[in-house]
Amino acid sequence: MEGEKFSTSRDHALWADEVAREVDPNVLRYALARIARPFGRDENEFDVDGLVTAASRLRVWEDALRQCANNARTLDSRRLRSRLRILTQRYADAIEELRFWDALDIVDRYFEVADFARDDSGLWNAMEISLFLSLLYPVVPELSIRYGRHFFGAAWPPSFDKLAAKAGLPPKIDFPCLSAAVPTHFIATYNERFRKHQAKQNQ
């Protein structure tokens, strides 16, 4: 964390439940999965900037899902595009091998290819949305289930095999976003506790 190993004796440690009291658990899970790397590598460093980035990323996904639901006018009944099928298989391989960081890169790529954020045509493809939510499920299950049930009903299961193909338009979304920003008081406390100490050591 912040370029130094965790150390309880030096109070250079932060526990997940401590963060989860202040930060949306979806954000925390995503941020931790993003930095998870095999032991022995120095790429799994935690910092508050990663939490802020995670909150921003989840908000982009939620905004796109909301735009899709609220602007949907026509059901796009085309089959899943081959590029998305290939990405889904790559994702499944990464999850099987516990390479969550790679899996999340693939989720980002799926999101770009599906073009949820930029498509204002009023078309919505139920299979593509269902599959996207299924990709999110292992890391942000609460977000995935909440939106899956909104789009497809209470019985919606996250699945790569049984793709939802709802015949009809989703209802308008009238509930608040799950992924709130990281509170400014948490960031200030974090910086005071960890970065101030680090700055003194560097002097």
45-65: pLDDT as tens digits: 888 999 999 999 999 999 999
Element (H, E) at 94: helix 82-96
Residue 47, both tokens: 């910092």
Q: Three-state DSSP class for 175? A: coil
H helices, E strands: number in the chain = 9, 2
* Domain-wise residue ranges, the chain: 23-182
Q: For residues 110 and 133, is the Cβ–Cβ distance under 8 A?
A: no
**pTM of the shown model:** 0.87
pLDDT of residue 169: 85
Q: Which residues share a beta bridge with 123? A: 74
pLDDT of residue 41: 62
| Residue 71 CA from chain centroid, whole number | 22
pLDDT of residue 199: 55
Q: Which of 115, 120, 129 is nearest to 67 (CA)?
A: 120
Q: Which of 9, 133, 14 is nearest to 65 (CA)?
A: 133
Q: For residues 2 and 198, is the Cβ–Cβ distance under 8 A?
A: yes
Q: Does domain 23-182 have CATH number 1.10.730.10?
A: yes
Q: Which of 146, 144, 149 is nearest to 133 (CA)?
A: 144
174-200: pLDDT as tens digits: 999 988 889 999 999 989 988 875 555
Residue ranges in the chain whose pLDDT is less than 70:
38-43, 119, 163-167, 197-203
pLDDT of residue 9: 77
The CA distances from residue 198 to 45, 152, 193, 203, in Å, are 15, 49, 9, 9
A 10 A CB-CB count for 52 gives 16
Q: Three-state DSSP class for 22? A: coil
User: Rounded to the nearest 10 degrees, what angle do helices 141-152 and 25-35 cross at?
Assistant: 120
